[in-house]
Structures are given as structure tokens and as C-alpha cells.
């Protein structure tokens, strides 16, 4: 069964540095998402992406965050200048298309900001 894959599984970065989290969605999926889960808290929506543009973003997704689909297969989340509070598990998800299609999640990337 096809899966959403995320790399790396764990990223350790100094505060203030840029970080890029990578995701390969399922190949025929059209909608892409990023979520995050701070330790001990709920999974929170960050952004959704369709047709090469952001469809919706949350209050968390400020100017420090950006997403890109650079080559038709990868879907990346960039944090320009990381803060301690960005430490979290980041999940990528994708869904097939029209209608009420469920989202398929990747294993997540654990981001640790020092």
C-alpha cells in the first residue's frame, strides 16, 4: 500500500537556523497538508496546499513558515528562523481529490530546537 514518506525522522537544529522538512505524498494525491504536535498537546493544523498554492493556513503558520512543491513529488515545509517553541513532531498528510477523502499521514519528523 502506498505511503506518505517524511525525511528526516529526527532533525536537531540550533535556534535561529533555517530548517526544511521534506515529504513525499502518495503519488496520485492532489491535496497536501502539514500538521504539528507539540509534546503532550493535540495535533494542530498548519497549512493545506492544492494546485501549487496554499488553500488554508492556521494562525500558527506565520511569515516564518513556507511550503513548496518544488518538483512534482516532494512537498516541503521551511521554517526560516527557528524558535525553541517550534520543537514538535511535524506530520505531512495527503488526500486523493474531490469529495470526502480521508487524509493519509506520514510517520512524522521530530524537530528539536536547541
Under the rule (CB under 8 A), what is the footprint of other proteins? 3-4, 31, 33, 35, 41-45, 48, 50, 55-56, 58, 91, 95, 97-108
Q: Provide the minimum distance between the beta carbon of 18 and other proteins in the complex, in angstroms, as a whole number.
A: 25
Cβ atoms < 10 Å from Cβ of 44: 15
CB-based burial of residue 75 (10 Å sphere; 0-12 exposed, 13-18 middle, 19+ buried)?
Answer: buried
Q: Provide the minimum distance between the beta carbon of 55 and other proteins in the complex, in angstroms, as a whole number.
A: 5
Q: Which is nearer to other proteins, 14 or 62 (by Cβ)?
A: 62
Sign of CA dihedral 20, 22, 28, 33: negative
Q: Which is nearer to other proteins, 58 or 74 (by Cβ)?
A: 58
Q: What span, in angstroms and rounded, lies between the C-alpha atoms of 113 and 106?
A: 21
Q: Which is nearer to other proteins, 49 or 82 (by Cβ)?
A: 49
Q: Provide the minimum distance between the beta carbon of 83 and other proteins in the complex, in angstroms, as a whole number.
A: 23
Amino acid at each position: 500500500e502506498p505511503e506518505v514518506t517524511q525525511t528526516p525522522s529526527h532533525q536537531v537544529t540550533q535556534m535561529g537556523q533555517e530548517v526544511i522538512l521534506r515529504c513525499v505524498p502518495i503519488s496520485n494525491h492532489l491535496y497536501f497538508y502539514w500538521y504539528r504536535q507539540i509534546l503532550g498537546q493535540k495535533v494542530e493544523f498548519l497549512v493545506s496546499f492544492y494546485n501549487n498554492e496554499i488553500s488554508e493556513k492556521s494562525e500558527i503558520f506565520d511569515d516564518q513558515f513556507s511550503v513548496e512543491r518544488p518538483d512534482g513529488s516532494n512537498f516541503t515545509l521551511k521554517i526560516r528562523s527557528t524558535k525553541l517553541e517550534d520543537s514538535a513532531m511535524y506530520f505531512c498528510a495527503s488526500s486523493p481529490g474531490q469529495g470526502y477523502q480521508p487524509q493519509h499521514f506520514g510517520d512524522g519528523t521530530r524537530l528539536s530546537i536547541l
